[in-house]
């Protein structure tokens, strides 16, 4: 069996050459980072859970007409996706003041925003992924005006869907990050949703208690990251604890780690 060729390793995933031209295998790691990788650690089983949650969300988004790179899940930690040319922007959709928005503007965390806010960040870890304006994007040619319109429209539609999806299981969608990529057909390209959607890139609060169920537990040293990620997966119904399952495997690894 030939060794797979690694294409790229990021903070949360490793990308391998896919089995067919134009495909990529996306491997989800347990590594956790925050503050542009200044803080590093591990959340046991995170890769397994994020793989399943992202599969769940991307599949449902495709059902409402959002084009995505997702093809299918391969195993507990890997999924097959379409190869895209990543647009170097992080599109952040905010419904509630939190994180950097609260710090920048002095708005109390948890304050609902007057309307959904879309922000753009330039993807460059060395620069700290700086906040940018649409004028920067146009000036430096990171995306065309048509692509910006497509990304903005998809972001709003994705937000509308996910707010309802999470509310139905008692979770408040505070904000989240999206990434998009281009796929080419000759000289013509179109924009599709790429990367992942998981508790790594979403702020998710329990509606009743306000408890954080996302990576902020790692960022802010709150503890309980593994349980929070599992709780999101349980509520969405993507992990079952009866019989042999991903959760059973995660808990086994946790027990073995505790014996070291």
213-254 residue pLDDT tens: 999 999 999 999 999 999 999 999 998 654 345 555 555 455
**Tens of pLDDT, residues 165-187:** 999 999 999 999 999 999 998 88
Q: Return the pLDDT at 12.
A: 94
d(CA 88, CA 219): 24
CB contact at 8 A, 225 and 44: no
The phi, psi pair for 57, rounded to 5°, reads -70, -45
Which of 18-32, 34-48, 199-213, 244-258 is predicted with the least confidence, judged by mean pLDDT? 244-258
pTM: 0.91
DSSP structural state of residue 260: -
54-66 average pLDDT score: 98
**Which residues in 64-74 are b (16+ Cβ under 10 Å) and which e?**
eebbbbbbebe
Say if residue 260's pLDDT is above 70.
no
Q: Report the SS3 class of residue 170.
A: coil
Q: 35: pLDDT confidence band, cut at 50, 70 and 90?
A: confident
The predicted structure's pLDDT at residue 4? 86
Listed in sequence order, the residues at least 6 apart from 252 whose beta carbon sits closer than 8 Å to its beta carbon are none
Domains and CATH numbers, the chain: 85-206 (3.30.470.20)
Res 88 pLDDT > 90: yes
Condensed to tens digits (0 to 9), the pLDDT of residues 100-118 reads 999 999 999 999 999 999 9
> To which H or E segment does residue 205 belong?
strand 202-206
Output the pLDDT for position 147: 98
Q: Are 193 and 68 in contact (CB under 8 A)?
A: yes
Condensed to tens digits (0 to 9), the pLDDT of residues 115-162 reads 999 999 999 989 999 999 999 999 999 999 999 999 999 999 999 999
In this predicted structure, the answer to whether residue 22 has a pLDDT above a threshold of 90 is yes
Give the residue among 87, 78, 71, 75 at the shortest CA–CA distance from 23: 71
pLDDT of residue 256 exceeding 50: no
């Amino acid at each position: 069996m030939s060794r797979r060729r690694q294409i790229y390793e990021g903070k949360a995933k490793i990308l391998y050459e896919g089995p067919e031209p134009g495909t990529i295998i996306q491997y989800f790691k347990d590594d956790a980072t925050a503050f542009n990788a200044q803080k590093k650690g591990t959340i046991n089983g995170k890769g397994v859970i994020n793989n399943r949650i992202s599969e769940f969300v991307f599949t449902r988004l495709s059902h409402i007409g959002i084009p995505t790179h997702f093809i299918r899940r391969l195993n507990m930690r890997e999924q097959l996706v379409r190869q895209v040319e990543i647009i170097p922007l992080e599109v952040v959709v905010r419904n509630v003041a939190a994180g950097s928005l609260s710090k920048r503007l002095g708005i109390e965390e948890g304050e609902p925003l007057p309307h959904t806010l879309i922000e753009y960040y330039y993807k460059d870890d060395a620069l700290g992924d700086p906040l940018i304006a649409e004028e920067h994007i146009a000036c430096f040619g990171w995306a065309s005006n048509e692509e910006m319109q497509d990304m903005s429209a998809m972001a709003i539609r994705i937000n509308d869907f996910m707010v309802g999806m999470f509310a139905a299981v008692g979770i408040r969608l505070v904000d989240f990050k999206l990434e998009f990529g281009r796929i080419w057909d000759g000289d013509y390209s179109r924009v599709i949703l790429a990367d992942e959607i998981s508790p790594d890139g979403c702020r998710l609060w329990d509606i009743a208690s306000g408890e954080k169920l996302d990576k902020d537990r790692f960022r802010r040293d709150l503890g309980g990251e593994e349980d929070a990620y599992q709780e999101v997966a349980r509520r969405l119904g993507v992990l079952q604890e009866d019989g042999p399952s991903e959760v059973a495997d995660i808990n086994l690894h946790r027990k073995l780690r505790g014996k070291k």
